[in-house]
């Protein structure tokens, strides 16, 4: 019995206990090769450098609203990405995941054409049955029924 509303409520899921590099280990010790999980996770599990950086940052501050503050890690990452985009993309918009990234892209595209005085440009071209997020906008943009 679970109170979690799982993606497929009829399924019984193994309990992920911990990660080791490319493996997820369940509560019974069974190891699952995690070849990317949701296809977009690429850092592996329990990487000490990543874990230490997360701990260092959360010990300093857990949250500040991006409408009011910037912060050093965000500025550093934006610079890292922008300097590798060969000068063509020099701004980075931070979101928390794939769904939010698609929603942000839809909004940015819409706003761009509104401000250019082309309000009738409201259609998006995308691949049918692609998947880039679980929100209504992201599912719609991917033609994902
Ligand atoms: C290819 C791809 N894009 C985007 C997403 C959605 O990312 P998020 O769960 O962070 O919204 C996923 C998640 O499964 C994915 O596999």
Region 54-83: what's the mean pLDDT? 94
Ligand 1 pocket member 137 (CB < 6 A): no
Ligand 1 pocket member 95 (CB < 6 A): no
CATH class of domain segment(s) 1-62: alpha beta
Burial 120-133 (b: 16+ CB within 10 A, else e): eeeeeeeeeeeebb
Q: How far is the CA of 123 from the centre of ligand 1 (A)?
A: 22
Structural domain boundaries in the chain: 1-62, 69-145
Confidence of residue 142 (pLDDT cuts 50, 70, 90): confident
Ligand 1 pocket member 98 (CB < 6 A): yes
Q: How far is the CA of 100 from the centre of ligand 1 (A)?
A: 9
CA-proximal residue: ligand 1, atom 13 (nearest): 38
pLDDT at residue 87 greater than cutoff 80? no
Q: In this structure, are residues 24 and 45 in contact, taking their beta carbons and an 8 Å threshold? A: yes
Please tell me the distance from the alpha carbon of residue 127 to that of residue 141, in angstroms, as a whole number.
8
pLDDT at residue 36 greater than cutoff 80? no
Confidence of residue 145 (pLDDT cuts 50, 70, 90): confident
Alpha helices in the chain (DSSP H): 48-60, 72-83, 98-115, 136-141
Region 17-43: what's the mean pLDDT? 88
Confidence of residue 42 (pLDDT cuts 50, 70, 90): confident
């Amino acid at each position: 019995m679970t109170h979690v509303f799982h993606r497929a409520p009829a399924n019984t899921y193994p309990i992920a206990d911990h990660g080791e590099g490319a493996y997820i280990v369940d509560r019974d010790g069974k190891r699952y090769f995690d070849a990317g999980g949701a296809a977009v996770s690429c850092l592996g599990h329990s990487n000490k450098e990543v874990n230490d950086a997360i701990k260092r940052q959360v010990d300093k501050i857990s949250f500040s609203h991006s409408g009011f503050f910037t912060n050093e890690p965000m500025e550093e990452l934006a610079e890292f990405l922008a300097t590798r985009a060969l000068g063509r993309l020099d701004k980075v918009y931070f979101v928390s995941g794939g769904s939010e990234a698609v929603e942000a892209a839809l909004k940015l595209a819409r706003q761009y054409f509104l401000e250019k005085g082309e309000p009738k440009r409201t259609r998006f071209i995308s691949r049918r049955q692609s998947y880039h997020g679980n929100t209504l906008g992201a599912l719609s943009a991917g033609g994902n029924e």
